[in-house]
């Protein structure tokens, strides 16, 4: 079982739209997850624009991948390095800590993550 940043069992990030590297609603990671999709983020317009500007359009629906496109307020498992990149750019989204995988602590200090807590 995966743990969150508090060392407790990982809670789901979102089922609608279905998120996670494994598309099971959880920000789990494992073999093949080159992006380390471990941060459960609450989308904002600023973050969505930033992500698109660096080559990852999360707003446009992609029916061929069963991806509805995201809008502000949606929760989504994003890549750990993308969150750090957005943090340095001043557009880091809020984070659902209970649904953020403990592997995120390899690049983000818990005290800093807490400042971005969604709840």
What are the tens digits of pLDDT across the range 35-84? 899 999 999 999 999 999 999 999 999 988 888 999 999 999 999 999 99
pLDDT at 37: 96
Q: Residue with structure tokens 């995120």?
A: 104
Taking the whole predicted model, whether its pTM rises above 0.85 is answered as yes
pLDDT at 116: 97
Residue 102 has φ and ψ, to the nearest 5°, of -60, -20
Top CATH class of 1-118 equals: alpha beta
The DSSP secondary-structure symbol of 3 reads B
Angle between the 45-53 and 80-89 helix axes, to the nearest 10 degrees?
Answer: 110
Q: Cα–chain-centroid distance for residue 97?
A: 10
pLDDT digits (tens, 9 = 90+) for 79-110: 999 999 999 999 999 999 999 999 999 999 99
Domain residue extents for the chain: 1-118
């Amino acid at each position: 079982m995966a743990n969150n940043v508090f060392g407790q069992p990982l809670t789901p990030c979102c089922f609608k739209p279905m998120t996670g590297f494994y598309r099971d609603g959880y920000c789990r990671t494992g073999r093949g997850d080159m992006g380390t999709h471990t941060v459960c983020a609450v989308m904002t317009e600023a973050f969505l624009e930033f992500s698109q500007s660096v080559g990852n359009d999360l707003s446009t629906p992609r029916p061929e991948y069963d991806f509805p496109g995201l809008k502000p307020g949606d929760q989504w498992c994003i890549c750990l390095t993308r969150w750090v990149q957005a943090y340095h750019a001043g557009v880091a989204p809020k984070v659902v800590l209970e649904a953020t995988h403990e592997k995120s602590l390899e690049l983000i200090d818990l005290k800093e993550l807490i400042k971005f807590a969604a709840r």
